Amino acid sequence: MEKHVKTGVVALIGPPNVGKSTLLNHLLGQKISIVSPKPQTTRNRILGIVNGEDHQVVLLDTPGIHRARSSLNLEMVKIALDTLSEVDAIIFMIDTTFPLPEKIAVMSEALEKAKKPVLLLVNKIDLSSREKLLPILNAYGAFFPFRAMIPLSAKTGDGVDILMKELLPLLPEGPRMYPEDIPTDATERFIASEIIREKIFLLTTQEIPYSTAVVVDSFKEDETSGLITIHATIHVEKKSQKGIIIGRQGAMLKKIGQAARKDIVELLGAKIMLNLWVKIRKDWTKDGRFLKELGLG
């Protein structure tokens, strides 16, 4: 008979750019969710599986909840809110720079409707002081009946042990839902596309990152040499954006490709040949069919 452990599905939600993806990657010990200083980087719901001797926590890293205007952003917010009905517990994450709770009424409504136990995480304590932290905890404590409020640093890991100590009692006991050696349900193909998109976020500015979508057209491994050849297309909405992504004499596209290839090699532990193309797909952020192809519809 399979050993029963503390196991359950946990939603990781919160405003954009508070460190949700950084926390997920820290808990897993590897990158599966992209990280950028820019808000609204995560578009899809990323599933990460945290395994321990007595637990298996299935974490859903959702897009940041914000006031959406475009079709793309509406789908991102819908993904985040729909997640709450499927979980055993919720981690609501903010950081020490985030406004007080009256600014996020949409969050309060979503948390109350979910009727699930909720932990509050206050991230980036490595960048703040105790004097600044106490008013935040007091304000959020009055805002919602959190099971616990935990200051932590997703970057350094400080406070993560306390998070796990508070989280595990909220989960039911049962058999593991996934094999112990699987850190995510995301395919290598999907993670490769997300790494390419991360490099676009890190290396370009203004509206460019938000106007790009990455599709891996082919992902093939040579059985003899072990070489993995990846062909990917970066879709943009305008001719001017295509020029910026390619750069002078192809310099920016080369830079994106080199940075992405380095991370993909590290992730897969294999030789990688990465080929990138840039194509114009006018108004793709409003194209429902294409958004479905990206897993956002």
Q: Is 65 annotated as a binding residue?
A: yes
Q: Is 95 annotated as a binding residue?
A: no
Q: Is 42 annotated as a binding residue?
A: no
Q: Is 169 annotated as a binding residue?
A: no
CA atoms within 13 A on the CB side of 212: 33
Assess contact for 85 and 56: CB atoms under 8 A.
Answer: no
Q: Is 63 annotated as a binding residue?
A: yes
Q: Is 283 annotated as a binding residue?
A: no
Q: Is 125 annotated as a binding residue?
A: yes
Q: Is 264 annotated as a binding residue?
A: no
Q: Is 62 annotated as a binding residue?
A: yes
Assess contact for 235 and 281: CB atoms under 8 A.
Answer: yes
Q: Is 19 annotated as a binding residue?
A: yes
Q: Is 64 annotated as a binding residue?
A: yes
* DSSP-derived 3-state class of residue 61: strand
Roughly what angle, to the nearest 10 degrees, separates helices 251-268 and 188-203? 140
Q: Is 16 annotated as a binding residue?
A: yes
Q: Is 61 annotated as a binding residue?
A: yes
In terms of Cβ atoms closer than 10 Å to its own Cβ (0-12, 13-18, 19+), residue 248 is: exposed
Dihedral of CA atoms 125, 129, 135, 139 in degrees, nearest 10, equals: -10
* DSSP-derived 3-state class of residue 292: helix
Q: Is 126 annotated as a binding residue?
A: yes
Q: Is 172 annotated as a binding residue?
A: no
Output the known binding site: 14-21, 61-65, 123-126
Output the known binding site for GTP: 14-21, 61-65, 123-126
